[in-house]
Each structure stands twice: as C-alpha cells, then as structure tokens.
Structure 1
Amino acid sequence: MEPATTAAITSFAGKALLPLFQKAISKGLSLAWRSGSEEAKTIFQLLKSDDSAKRYCEHAQKILRIRTIFDPDTIHDIPNIYHPLSAKSKKRQAIKIESLSDITGLTEFKKDNIFVNLVGKAGQGKSTSFKYIFGETLKEGNKIPFYFNLRDFGDGTIEEELFKGFIHFVSDIEFSTFTLLLQSKRIVIFLDGFDEVESSKRGYWLKEIEKLSIRYMADILVSSRPDTEICRSVNIENIFLCDLSKQDIFSIIYKNSKNSIASQEYISIVNENKTLEELLVSPILVMLFMSTYHMLDTVPDSVSRFYEEIFICLYKKHDKLDKPGFPREIKSKIVEYDAKDCFSAFCFLSFRKSDYGYSDESMLTYFRSALDLCGFDTKEAESIKVDVVDITNLIVNDGYDRYSYIHRSIQEYYTARYIKGLPDEKKKKFYDKVISSDGSRGSYGKVIEFLSDIDQHFYEKNFILEIFNVTGIVDINSGNYKKPSLSKFRSDLEMIQIDLLVLDDKISANSISYPDNHDFSLLDWFCFNTDEKYDKEFGINDIMNEVSKHDLNYAMKKLEPFLLSDSCDIKKEKNSGVLTSVYRVIDAYELTNALGSVKHLFNLYSSTCKVLYDDICLHTFKKVKSRDEKIRFLDF
C-alpha cells in the first residue's frame, strides 16, 4: 500500500485505523469460532490483504467522520467531539454508553446473543452514538464491526443485502461461506436508521432482521426513533437514550466550541436561564443554541424557535461571526426570507417523496419545483442550491454527488413550516390524509409534532379533535364522552397483525404491527404522543404482553383451525444448515379471543379512552370552541 494512501485512512482520534483493523483480524483468527462456522475464517484471511484492509478502513473512516451544525465547514472525527450519552433500559438504571459492553450490560441478553435497538428521539444523538460505538468495537478488537445504513438496502433478503455490502471489502467469496460468517460470533452487524426505511417496507425488514438474529444467532445492533415497528419486537431489547443533564450540556459545549471564552459565555447563559436549560434536552438543540445565540436578540423559548431562526442566521450572517470581513457571496437574487420560504417548499416536496438525500440533479429538480411553487424564476435553482449548501450548510455534499441534511430534523421542521403556510383547505386535506388509511402516520410523526407547536389551533381542531371523532369516543358537536364499544375494539384488534414464530415446533409471539393503509385506531395515538405520562396507559404493546403470558403451544388446539386455514398468512423461512422457522401471521382478535383475553384488554382500552378524553380531548374541545367563538365575533 502506498504511504500516502495509508495516511489518508489512519485518522481516528489519533489512532491509526489500519493497524487497529489488522490487529482485530489477527485476534479474531486466534479466537474460538462457533462450531460449524470455521470455514468462514478464510474471509478473515482475505480481509488481511492490503486491498481489502484499505477498503474496510476507508469505509470505517467515512462512518467515523461527521459535520456539525455548529461547525459545518469542518469534518470532525467523532471521538474528538463526542460526549458519552446516558441510556437506560426498561429494567436498568441509566449509565453512560461508551462501548458495546455498556450497551449489552443494560440488556437481559446473554453475552453470546446480542440483539439490541438503540432508541433515540430526533436530534438525541443516536446515529452519532451508534457510530462511536462502532469505532470503539473496532478498537477493542474482540469482534469486527460492519456498518450498514438500512435505507440503502434494496429488495433482497437480509443475507443478500449484507452480502452486497460485504463484497465491497472482499469480492472473491461464496455466498454460502458468508452465511457461515454470520453464524461465527466473530462479527457485529450495525444496522443504522430503521426509522428512515419507507413505512411500507418496515414490516418486511423487521422480519428479516429478526431472522438474522434467530437463524444465525448473529450479533446485531439497530438504531431507531421511538414507536417504530422494531421497538415492538419481543426478540429485541430496546435501549433508550436519555435527555441531557446540565453537565452533559456543558461537556458538549466544551467539546464542540473552539473558543474557551465563547464556551464560558454559552455556559453562563445556560446557568442563568432555567427555561433554556430545560429546553436543551438533546445534542442537536445545544448545537442550534451555540449556532444562533450571537445572532438573536432573545434566546429562543421553544424547540421550534431554534429551527425557525437557524436558516436566516446562517443564510444572512454565517461568516460574520467567525470570519469578520470575509462574508461569503450570496449567489441568488432572492432575499433571505423568500429564500427561507423556497427552502421550506424544497423540504416539503422531497419529504413527501421520502427523499432524504439527493444527487446534484435531483436537488436542482426539487429547487425548480420549489421556486415555481413560491412564484420565483426557476432559473434561480442553481444559485439557491449553492447558497443553501455553501452558506447555510444545512445540506452538505459528502463528495460523492450525494447531498444530505446536516440533521434530518431540519427537513422535518421546514416541511412543517411549509404545511403551516398552506391555505386552510389544503392543510385540512393533509391532516385527513395522515389520519386516513394511506400509511402516512409513521413517517409524518415528527412533522406533526412540530405543527402542534407552530400551528397549534389548526392542529388541535383538525388533527386532535378529528382523531377522537374518528375513533368514536366523543360527540364532536357537543364534546361529550361516548363509551367505546366492544365491536369497535374488536375491529381495532382485527387490524393488528401478530407474527407467530414456529421454531423447532415451539410457538412464540414474535412481533406486532399494523398492515399498510389501515384505518385509524385510538391505539395509533401512541405513535404520535410523546408525553411519558401515557407510557403506562394501554397501547398495542399491552396486547403483546398479554399474549406473551400464555403458553402458545398449549393454546395451539384452539388456534390450529385458524392457523391451518387459508385466511392465515403463512411465511416459511428456510436455509440449509441453519435453523428453519415458519412465520404465521394472525390478527390480534383471533389470537386474544382464542386465549380468552379480549375482555381484559377491552377493560384496559376503555379506561385509557376515558383518561385520554379527560386529559386531552375535553380540554382541547373547550379551547378550540372558545377561540372559534372569539374569532367569529371579530369585526373590522
């Protein structure tokens, strides 16, 4: 390998990647391999070659380098700026996570069976933490980590998609040998961004990831936002990132600010402002605070205000703070506030297509459409694209004709901002679409959360009250409570699918999900609600918990007629040399009725309906009615 090439891939917080990787490979070859997988050692031997090692280290370095909103011009090694975040599981107290062993220490799994989902809200740092742990796993050298972005997967099986990525490092291997490597216990598979997978494909990929764990006993880490389908799998253990403490905030400021005087100033502001301290619950908000503080007259008092101010701050004054006298030239003839509207339209147009990253040409196409929507000359597309990338840095170019947001929540906020500005009839159509059976609810969750803040009245009237109206527990005209009916609850249960896994003749409840395009149920509330107050109320996880209490093999006699009928979707998964599994998909009513649990679950459901009505619906109804009355009597 050429010295210059080696130097280009050796930066990892002062550590040389190539020696780390080669040492880990040698260690892996010297350790015991799972019985039957020894043939896969040939892959490790091939990975030791200069070309394969170089490709792996280039790949790893790309993963371990990021830009930040506060300093988007610099590519940082993650360990140099990373502050270890705290995480907790349902049964264990929060600890700082700095390694793979910290994560597995929070789980109930045995050390030889790692299957963990790192769960974090938008901007909470899950992807950065995920990548940091990838790097630490490589440094430890006990197992070789392989990182994959789930959104990049095609339409193959999990084995096929992993194999496609793997042959980038070692091309001269057989697929059958690769499957032995999956069983070897000598690698860890990092699957980032389950929440970024298209909602229509998540059910498929959940089953594929579960198969990877069950069939191969592979070590797997997944990352996701809360309330995605993978969070409800009984085979995976969820580890939840915690909100930042004051000391976390200070550490992030110190690690990311190049100026000690500025760091002290930021910290003083946080110390003096309790509301601000309580607001800065995630790393992205600390970064937004640091980026906008010197450019604002007042400190933002809400999360949405941070996002609202960031575009103008960066577009108009980006270099005035760090490089006085050398402001970057704005290419576009569009003034900054109009440019902000165009950027909002750009975000909306691409978000509704589930497009989170762009080529140069697709970015121009979206900007032309955005300019046209906002009434500006489409010839400005190239100029405004350059301004957004080079001046705001809210979208960055990774150097491979691939553009992406500095953080996905930027796209979500400005999508919400664009929706807010639409005519009322268009906004109503949007909310109707989200509530209806078109499968949009999951992907629009964060957008709706932003709308609840920036367009509160319309959101409450046309989303919150409409939800309760559709679910049938309120008279929308009087606001009076209507007791839920057993027939409505049954129809809700019938929409929910439970995967029963038959493995070695033992039946277990594997995961729970809704089919695509299902009608709205009150149970969907828990996909939107972020208030921890309702975590203990009834939700779809209670259905799985109830099912899991029973011996499903014992109940097989009741279930067998249905399971053997044409109405049960049976999916067989087979692979020579490893475990054979059969998935049987059954609706939740059929299963819970066979287990005699419907009445118990209905009572839980009914009590939660009343709690939600008392805490949310009634208050919202009175507030909306009062505002509408006041507006109706306005005179000009």
Structure 2
Amino acid sequence: MSEESGININKIVVELVQKNVDKLTVGLGKFGADQFKKLKLKTGIAFESYLSAATKKYGYSKTILYRDRNVALYDFYIDMDLKCGKEIVNTNNINNLIEQNNFVTVYGSGGIGKSTLFKHFFMSTIINTNFIPIFVELKMINDEEITLLDCIYQSLSNLKFDLEMNYFEQSLNSGRYLILLDGFDEVVDTKREKLIKEIINLTDRYDENHYILSSRRSNALYNGWNKSINFDLIPLDKTKAIALINKLDYDTEIKVKFLEELKNNLFEKHSSFCSNPLLLNLMLLTYKDFAEIPEKVHIFYDNAFNVLYSQHDATKAFKRKHKTSEDLAYDQFVKILNALSALSYMDSTVRFDLPTLTRYVNNAKKITKIESFDTNNFITDIVESICLLYLDGLKYNFQHRSFQEFFAANFILNQSDKKLFAILSKLIDTRHDSLNTDNVLNLVIEMEREKFEKIFLIPKLKEIKNHVQDSSPELTYYNYMKTSFSSYQLDPSVLGNEGFEEIGDCVSFRYIKKNRKYYNEFIRYIIEKYKDIYPTIELPAPNLGYKRIDIIEKYGELNNENGEVNINLDIIPQNKELMEDFLKHSKMYIMFYNFAMHLLEILEEKHSETDSILGELFGIDI
C-alpha cells in the first residue's frame, strides 16, 4: 500500500475493531451477561477511539520540508525494502513482513526513514490485516521510571484509549496485536539493558502477538533479543530517490532542475546522500542556495541550517522575522544551539517538556556567557521560525536526531583541549553504545580529524596503554581483558544457534557490571575508522581456530542449573596453563589492542613531524 486515496479509514477502523472485540474480551473476568456486554462495548469504543486518533497522528506528519503543516504520510512516503541475508522483503504490504516471523527487528542508519516506515506499517496493518496495531515511541521511557508495558499502555491512553490497564493487559493474551516498538536507539544507555529484558519477557509471555522493533545498529540489542529475525532497511536506489522527489510539494522550478541533475549523474556522484531520505530532502532544501553538493556530511548539515535560519517555508515565498534577531547575531544563535544540543545529548535527552527545554537554554546561556536575549523568544524561534524543533503534544522534539548530533559535535570541537578530552571521555564512559548508534564522534572526526587525533585519540590510547601495561606481554593482555570482563565461560546451551556449530564455539566472556572501562568498545570503534587508512596493521581473522574446552572444564566452576562452566579472571595469573588457554581464547581482543598500540605509534610520529615542520616554518616552539 503506497497510496491512501479512496480509502475510508474510519470505516475500516470500525470494521477492524468489530472483528477483534470478541477475542480481545475473552477471559477478562467473570461478569453477568449485562456487565460483560457493557465491558465489550467499552472495549470496542476504546479501540475505535485510539485507532481513529492514531491514524490522524501517524497518517500525517511534519517534515524538514513541510515544517509549518502536517502533510499526509503518503504524499511523501516511498516504499522501502528490507534485507535479511539474501532475502529481500518489500514493505508495500505489512503482511510481507509479519509472515516472516512474529518477532522482527528493523535496523537502519540515521535519517534512512525508520520512523516513517513504522507509520506506514501502522496504516498498512489497519488496512491490510486483521491485527490491531499499537505504535510505541520507546523514547517515552526516558521521561520517567516506567516499564515497557506501562509505556505501551501510555501510548494508547495518550490517544483517547479509555480502558482499564488490567483489562488491556489481559487482552494481550488474545494474540490480536501488532506492536510497533519504534526507536530502541533513542532510549538512554542506562535503561537499555532493562528494556531488552522487558522486551524478552513481553514477547515470551504474549508470543502470539506480532512485534516489530526499530533501531540503529546496537550490539546490546543485536546480541540480546535472539529470537528476532533481523532486517536491514535498504537505502534508496536511483528509481526510488527520483520517485520521492517527484512526490514532494516544492518550488516547481527548483524541483525540476534538481530532478534533472538527479536523473543525470547526481545520484551516482553522491549516492551516500541521495540514498538517504533525510539527506535527499536536505539536498533539495539547500539546492537553490548551495548548488554544489559538499562531499562531507557536516558541511551538508551546516548548509541546511543556513537555509532553515534564513527562510521559513521552502514551499512558498515566506520568511518570519526572528524574535531574537535584535538580541542575537547569527554566530551567537548557533553557539546557544550548539550548547543546548550538547547538554541534552550528553543527558541522552531527545525530547523535552517546556520546563526542561527552558532549563537547557538557560544553561546554554551560562556556558556561552551570552545572556542578552529572552529564553522564551529563543524557544519560539527554534520551534516556529527555524522549525528545528517541533511540538508533539506537550513534548518538543528535534526535526531529526541528526541535527542534535551535528550541533553537539560543533560544541565539542569549540571547547578547550582539556574540556574536549573530558567530554569525549565521558561520552565513551557513559554512552558507549552511542559509538555504534550515533554520529557525534563520527562528525567530530570528519570535521577535524587532526585535532581529534592530537587532543583526544593519542592521549586516550596512551591512557589505555599506561593502565594495562605490565612486566610481560601476557600480563599486559590479561590486564586489558580485565578492564572489560570478569570471567570466561563455556555455555553449552547456545550450541546449535547461528555461529555455534561445535562445542568449541561456545566459549565467551562475561562483562564486568560495575566500574567497567570501555576501552574495548572504543578500540573497536577506532579500528573501523582507521583500518582502511592504515591497512598494513594486522586485523584478527573472523575465525581464529582455537576451540579447546578441556582447560575450562578442568579448572572451571560448574553451574548445575544451566550447565555453564565459569572461570573468574582473578584466579588466572596464578595458573600458567590457565593463563595460556585464556589468552588464546582472547586472541581477537588482543589483536584489537595491538592494532591500537601500533596506531598510537604511527599517529605520534605523524603529529611529531607535523609539529616540527610547523615550528620550523613559523619559528616557534610546539
């Protein structure tokens, strides 16, 4: 389903609820005939009210182009494909996906359109299936201490659902729901482990329902919810990119010129931008003022903000005067925005009520020492004039998280060397999963790689080296492993799962729960950033071949409940045979560490040479 025209959605909602109301009310309690009839009627009305309100919410949306008004979803939506291994699934009809499995995870990069796809899934479920869809924005969990079940119920009750929680919870046994869990990656790091457990418990207990979850790539989620089939959202191809631009209501002259370039060689030249719906929209938005498409994404975002700041609605010739224009110069406005974004990002805050947003702006004033403007006027500007944030109910959201990440990266790079090191270190320590899911560090490196290397990467790698270095290579490697892991173990229960074909594959490491250093995660991130720049540095092969288990069985402690054999890392240095076995099982991590230390030597030499040349040319000591 790619078009909604000609469909009476209200009629379909009524019919859908009537098809399900009998099953939804089975086992809701012991009532007399009249009481049960009233409960059944109340249940039907509650779901009709929710679905009617939800189709208005999720069937329409504001976008970076349509910042002033809600636009029908199918006026700008293009069907995207999903990939699992070699299998391609077309998302035109939700049935194509739910027939795969009851439990599905959709992974995609920032701006690729996961939330928009989920809005389509919601509408398609109503029109093409007999299931009742529930759209859950997981970032709601950040706002207060609530369970996943509370979050699901709140998602319903926020949209006119009037049925007691206990009745709804019992109705989950009916298997009549398709629950869309949108934005796992927008949940703060500190709540993700608990959320994964709740997802597992919910899907185990009510396993006849369908569940689809979206996220940027997350190791915690990928490894945690193993009953799910994992799909990747395929970027736009040239045909879909052209179809998307054709759909958009935009200045005709600009759109025609842009389409002409897109059809010629623009897509091939800038495929990484053109294949991402958000970036493709930004390309169109900036096309009039910046005909040349930049090679780097941070310049792209900078251009987009310039356009947003200088004009109000790209679909018509209209510009609103900024309320802060007399009090704030452009560069001052950006500094406040940078600070606001960095503060909220470091707090893992992606949506704000008004008092929280006000607090962030006021704190940004203090940090920048720019206080000659009214906070309420600034909020009005970023919501109404520039439309960088939008109001959804009582919560303010960035038009897209990518903008928050971009401005946060700007803020970090404008700090002193000492502050930059401290902020990035805190980012790694408190938001380690963001290395895989977010773009702040990616943008920092893209904007100023040399500064990143000299001020942060070299000192951080030295810190790691000094923390783990010992009297022998074996003890150094052991110390490195101890920064992340508390034990290594043999877990026969995973035998037969993907990647665990024989018992020797079942050896793994258990993470430290408290006072853990995230050196391993950081080094793996750095390897991804530098392995192509320095391809001569040795990387571990996918299968290192060491699969002995007899040493673990000989010295390990057996857990009779689950069959695991566990060895605490604290006992290893006293046993030569055990140390040798442990380090062989750790070889992949050891090679990661060796890569980092080799990289450190290369970067120190490179920057020493650069400083020497600079000092000689300018006649200064560096």
Please give the TM-score of this superposition, normalised by the length of structure 2.
0.79
- Corresponding residue number in structure 2 for 1:460: 453
The one-letter code sitting in structure 2 at the alignment partner of 1:264 is V
The letter for the 1-side match of 2:65 is: F
1:269 partner amino acid: E
1:120–1:241 CA contact under 8 A, matched in 2:
yes
- Residue 127 (structure 1) aligns with: 115
Give 1:226 deviation, angstroms.
0.8
Deviations 1:29-81 (A, max 9, x none): 578x9xxx942597994466445412332134213322111221221222221
When residues 490 and 337 of structure 1 are mapped into structure 2, their CA distance, relative to the original with a 3 A threshold, is closer
The answer (yes or no) to whether the contact 2:468–2:479 under 8 Å persists in 1 is no
- Residue 172 of structure 2 aligns with an amino acid whose one-letter code is L
What is the CA–CA distance in structure 2 between the aligned matches of 1:185 and 1:100, rounded to whole Å?
17
**CA displacement 1:318-377 (0-9 Å, x = unmatched):** 35x5444x4322221112232122211221222222222222333233223323433333
Which of 325, 350, 357 in structure 2 is aligned with 1:356? 350
Checking the alignment, whether the CA contact within 8 Å between 2:138 and 2:151 is kept in structure 1 is: no
Distance 1:613 1:26, change over 3 A: farther
Matches within 5 A, 1:9-408: 15-28=7-20, 38-39=26-27, 45-46=40-41, 49-50=44-45, 52-89=47-84, 91-104=85-98, 111=101, 114-153=102-141, 154-166=144-156, 171-173=162-164, 175=166, 177-217=167-207, 218-233=209-224, 234-270=226-262, 271-273=264-266, 274-296=268-290, 298-319=292-313, 322-324=315-317, 326-332=318-324, 333=326, 334-398=328-392, 400-408=393-401
Aligned counterpart in structure 2 of residue 488 of structure 1, from 457, 476, 479: 479
**Structure 2 letter corresponding to 1:15:** I
Unmatched segments (≥5 aa) in structure 1: 1-10, 477-481, 565-581
Q: Is the 8 A contact 1:538 1:608 kept in 2?
A: yes
- Amino acid in structure 1 at the alignment position of 2:618: D
Match of 1:522 in 2: 520
Alpha-carbon separation, structure 1, partners of 2:586 and 2:147: 38
Cross-structure match for 1:633: 616
Shift of 1:308: 1.3
In the TM superposition, residue 310 of structure 1 has moved relative to its aligned partner by: 1.8
Say if 1:348 and 1:411, in contact at 8 Å, map to a contact too.
Answer: yes
Question: Which one-letter code corresponds to 1:131 in the other structure?
Answer: K
Structure 1 residue 83, shift from structure 2 partner: 1.0
| Partner Cα separation in structure 2 for residue 179 and residue 502 of structure 1 | 32
1:416-442 per-position Cα deviation (integer Å, ceiling 9, x unaligned): 11111111221122123234xx42222
Please report how far the alpha carbon of residue 380 of structure 1 lies from its aligned counterpart in structure 2 after TM superposition.
Answer: 2.6
Deviation at 1:518, TM superposition (A): 2.0
8 A contact 2:478–2:583 mirrored in 1: no
Q: CA, structure 1 residues 307+278, in 2 after alignment: closer, same or farther (shift >3 Å)?
A: same
Change over 3 Å in CA distance of 1:367–1:626 after alignment to 2: same
Deviation at 1:387, TM superposition (A): 1.8
Q: In 2, distance between residues paired with 1:624 and 1:443?
A: 28
Partner of 2:497: none
| Partner amino acid, structure 2, of 1:155 | E
Q: Summarize deviations over 1:254-310 as a string: whole Å, max 9, x none.
A: 122435543331123333344333433311110111111111263222111111122
The structure-2 alpha-carbon separation of the partners of 1:20 and 1:151, relative to structure 1 and needing over 3 Å to count, comes to: same
Aligned counterpart in structure 2 of residue 604 of structure 1, from 574, 583, 588: 588
The equivalent residue for 1:420 is 413
Q: Name the counterpart of 1:8.
A: none
Return closer, same or farther for 1:68/1:522 CA change in 2, 3 Å cut-off: same
Secondary structure at 1:301 match in 2:
coil
8 A contact 2:104–2:231 mirrored in 1 = yes
User: What secondary structure does 1:633 align onto?
Assistant: helix
Render the CA deviation track for 1:586-624: whole Å, top value 9, x for unaligned. 89979x999x9856532333445556667x656545543
Range 194-203 or range 180-189, more displaced: 180-189
Aligned to 1:116, what secondary structure does the other structure show?
strand
Query: Percent sequence identity over matched residues?
Result: 19
Distance 2:118 2:514 in 1: 29
Give the aligned residue type for 1:491: K
- Partner letter of residue 232 of structure 2? F
* TM-score, with length taken from structure 1: 0.77
Confirm or deny: 8 A CA contact 1:144 1:188 kept in the other structure: yes
| Contact map agreement 1:100 1:137 (CA 8 A) in 2 | yes
Distance in 2 between residues matched to 1:633 and 1:526, nearest whole Å: 36
Instruction: Tell whether the 8 Å contact from 2:19 to 2:130 is kept in structure 1 after alignment.
Output: yes
Which residue of structure 2 aligns with residue 567 of structure 1?
A: none
Are the counterparts in 1 of residues 488 and 508 from structure 2 also a CA contact under 8 Å?
A: no
Alpha-carbon deviation of 1:86?
2.5
| Contact kept? 2:556, 2:567, Cα under 8 Å | no
User: C-alpha distance in 2, partners of 1:173/1:546?
Assistant: 56
Helix, strand or coil at the partner of 2:104: strand
Q: Deviations over 1:446-489 (max 9, x none)?
A: 2111101112112223444345444449999xxxxx89954135
For the residue of structure 2 that corresponds to 1:39, the secondary structure is coil
What secondary structure sits across from 1:148 in the alignment? Answer: strand
Determine if contact 1:144/1:187 at 8 Å carries over to the other structure. Answer: yes
Distance 1:264 1:242 in 2: 26
Query: What one-letter code is carried by the residue in structure 2 that aligns with 1:146?
Result: I
- Superposition RMSD in Å: 4.5
- Displacement, 1:560? 6.4
SS of residue paired to 1:208: helix
Shift of 1:394: 1.0
d(CA) in 1 for partners of 2:568, 2:236: 38
- For 1:631, the aligned partner's letter is L
| Structure 1 residue 116 displacement after superposition | 1.5
SS at match of 1:87: strand
What letter is aligned with 2:517?
D
CA distance in 2, matches of 1:306, 1:599: 46
Shift, 1:415, TM fit: 0.7
Alignment gaps of 5+ in structure 2: 30-35, 495-505, 533-537
Contact kept, 8 Å, 1:232 with 1:512, in 2: the verdict is no
Distance 2:554 2:40 in 1: 51
Equivalent residues in 2 for 1:474-485 (5 A)? Answer: 485=476
Paired with 1:376 and 1:456, the residues of 2 have a C-alpha distance of 29
